[in-house]
Amino acid sequence: MSQTLAIIKPDAVAAGNAGNIIALLERAGFTVKALTFTSLTAKQAGAFYAVHAGRPFYDELVEFMMSGPVIPMALEAENAVPKLRDAIGATDPAEAAEGTVRKLYAESKGRNAIHASDSDENAANEIGFFFSGHGRLAVG
């Protein structure tokens, strides 16, 4: 078993799709190990996406991620990182496969409903960004 981090983004929370997204992920075989409902500050959103600093979409991404509440979750499954990326679909919903979170709930490349870690190393860092041990919150 391994873990990965998902964040239900502000567009999906505001649209009332969070429950359906969590249900879809549970049906896909993930167990929710930690979950919180929070709003990111500019500093937190900027730090979380620091790897994208300097990309043309960075400012828009940070602005969007602090535009409303988000739901970060630590999810567990076998091969959790690739399994979650399969379940959420391509970054651009126009390219996402049928039945994926982004096909069902994303509006655009930017407003794309959900984030997922892209490697085991990033998953560990990203889970640590929001949660410290046994689901206790690390954000402040």
Residues annotated as catalytic are 115
Q: 5 φ, ψ to 5°? A: -110, 130
Distance CA 17, CA 52 (A): 26
Amino acid present at 36:
T
Q: What's 115's DSSP letter?
A: E
Shortest Å, Cβ 34 to ligand CMP? 18
Shortest Å, Cβ 1 to ligand CMP? 23
Closest C-alpha to 29, from 94, 80, 97: 80
Measured from the CB atom, the residue of 56 and 140 that comes closer to ligand CMP is 56
Q: How far apart are the first and last CA of the chain?
A: 29
Which positions touch ligand CMP (CB under 6 A)? 52, 57, 60-61, 91, 109-110, 112, 115
Measured from the CB atom, the residue of 34 and 62 that comes closer to ligand CMP is 62
Measured from the CB atom, the residue of 52 and 134 that comes closer to ligand CMP is 52
